[in-house]
Amino acid sequence: MANLTHNKFSPDTLALHAGYTYDTQRTMSVPIYQNTAYSFESLQQAAARFGLQELGNIYSRLTNPTVDVLGARLAALEGGAFGVPTASGASAIFYALVNCAQNGDNILYSNKIYGGTQTLLVHVLKRFGIEVRVFDIDDIENSLPKLIDTKTKAIFFESLSNPQISIADTEKITQIAKQNKIITICDNTVATAFLHKPFDYGVDVVVYSLSKYINGQGSALGGAIIERNGLNALIEDNPRYPAFNTPDPSYHGLIYASLPLPIFSIRVIIEWLRNIGATLSAQAAWIILQGLETLELRIKKHSQSALKVAEFLQSHPKVKSVAYPGLDSDPYNALLKKYYTNALASGLLSFEVESHQKAQQICNATELFAVVVNIGDSKSLIIHPASTTHSQLSQEELLSAGITPNTVRLSIGLENADDLIADLKQALES
Ligand X SMILES: *Cc1c(COP(=O)(O)O)cnc(C)c1O
Task: By CB under 6 A, tell whether 189 contacts ligand X.
Answer: yes
**Stretch 335-394 residues interacting with ligand X (CB under 6 A):** 375
Spell out, one character per residue from 74 to 103, where the chain touches ligand X: x when CB under 6 A holds, - when not.
--------------xxx-------------
Spell out, one character per residue from 99 to 128, where the chain touches ligand X: x when CB under 6 A holds, - when not.
---------------x-xx-----------
**Stretch 210-249 residues interacting with ligand X (CB under 6 A):** 211-212, 221, 223
User: Residues binding ligand X: what is the number (CB under 6 A)?
Assistant: 16
DSSP 71-83: HHHHHHHHT-SEE
Residue 157 or 241: which CB sits closer to ligand X?
157
**Beta strand pairing status for 407-411 and 348-352?**
antiparallel
Task: By CB under 6 A, tell whether 56 contacts ligand X.
Answer: no
Interacting residue with ligand X among 68, 169, 187, 352 (CB under 6 A): 187
DSSP 104-162: T-EEEEESS--HHHHHIIIIIHHHTT-EEEEE-TT-HHHHSGGG--TTEEEEEEESEET
Residue 89 or 216: which CB sits closer to ligand X?
89
* Element holding 92 (H helix, E strand): helix 89-98
| 271 secondary structure, DSSP code | I
Task: By CB under 6 A, tell whether 299 contacts ligand X.
Answer: no
Give least dist CB 411 to ligand X, A: 10
Residue 32 or 210: which CB sits closer to ligand X?
210
Residue 157 to residues 13, 136, 166: CA-CA distances in angstroms?
A: 29, 10, 11
Angle among Cα 398, 404, 405 to the nearest 5 degrees reads 115
Q: Are 352 and 406 in contact (CB under 8 A)?
A: yes
**Which of 13, 133, 146, 155 lies closest to 76 in space, CA to CA?**
13
**Stretch 123-162 residues interacting with ligand X (CB under 6 A):** 158
Residue 209 or 406: which CB sits closer to ligand X?
209
Site residues (vs ligand X, CB under 6 A): 88-90, 114, 116-117, 158, 187, 189-190, 209, 211-212, 221, 223, 375
